[in-house]
Structure 1
Amino acid sequence: MIERAAVVALGLMMAGTAVAQGMQVPSPSPGLMPNPTMGKPLFEKNCASCHGVQLDGSDKGPPLVHRIYEPSHHGDIAFQLAAKNGTRAHHWQFGDMLPVPGVTPDDVAHITAYVRMHQRRAGIR
């Protein structure tokens, strides 16, 4: 319970930072149940070319099944913000990530559920 509270607090802090920087924080539809099965084809279409079909990275982007992307370090909101606004290179030497056109906050929630499923399978919590 304490760990979950810490993750929520971190997410709120990140959202607050994004708002303070003038970024709009994307939110999935109220009541959406993110589904990894729906996330798989969305990931393959929008993310796999850089992050690898097996989420193990490529020469264009980092692996998402890695401790750096565990929920306590990169909360779900980080995935939303990266898809909407892009993100500067900060952990890896791949260059900045551009925004991902055409993905909705609901799509990103499903993609994130897919990524989190693979992280849990790898022991990343």
Structure 2
Amino acid sequence: MKRLVLGTALAAAAIGAFSLMQPADTDRTDPRADAALEGDAMVAVLIPASFSPAEQMGKRGFDAACAACHGANARGRQGVAPPLVHKIYEPGHHGDAAFILAAQNGVRAHHWRFGDMPPVAGVTRADVLNIVAYVRALQRENGIN
């Protein structure tokens, strides 16, 4: 009986973990959607109608320092790096400080199997805060709060 209960609990945990790894659902016919899953993109991302000045600076910073790995609009790249527009990176699980530390120090792989993330050269704390503002705007638009 104990084995059955333990096996059931482990199966439920595995299913829960697997569901966390799935891309966020987005309506690919929505006019706010970026190019839906073309190339090696992992998720389709709805783009906000407008960005604040900090979010605009963050987009420029993201495009320069992050998009090569995390993909345009933070939609991830198969085999390279995960999407940041994903419930794993919601503010309650990965706060803004986690992004700052990741850029500064790099990160050991712990949610995905892409390998470790190296530190990001040439970005300041202010740059990363703007990048986080941009990523959070994308997340909010995609129902990740």
Instruction: Indicate the TM-score class for this superposition, using the shorter chain for normalisation.
Output: 0.7 to 0.9
Amino acid at match of 1:44: D
Aligned position for 2:67: 48
CA distance in 1, matches of 2:134, 2:106: 20
Aligned position for 2:96: 76
Structure 1 unaligned blocks of 5 or more: 1-33
Aligned position for 2:108: 88
Question: What's the secondary structure of 1:38's corresponding residue?
Answer: helix
CA distance in 2, matches of 1:52, 1:120: 18
Question: What's the secondary structure of 2:109's corresponding residue?
Answer: coil
Taking structure 2 as the reference length, what is the TM-score of the superposition?
0.62
Q: Which protein is bigger by CA-based radius of gyration?
A: 2
Identity across the alignment (%): 61
String of CA shifts for 1:65-87, please: whole Å, max 9, x gaps. Answer: 00000000000000000000000
2:57 maps to which of 38, 43, 55? 38
Structure 2 unaligned blocks of 5 or more: 1-52
Tell me how far 1:61 sits from its aligned partner: 0.3
Q: CA RMSD in A?
A: 1.4
String of CA shifts for 1:32-91, please: whole Å, max 9, x gaps. Answer: xx8101101100010001111021100210000000000000000000000000000000
CA distance in 2, matches of 1:95, 1:122: 26
CA distance in 1, matches of 2:117, 2:60: 20
CA distance in 2, matches of 1:54, 1:87: 21
1:61 maps to which of 81, 85, 90? 81
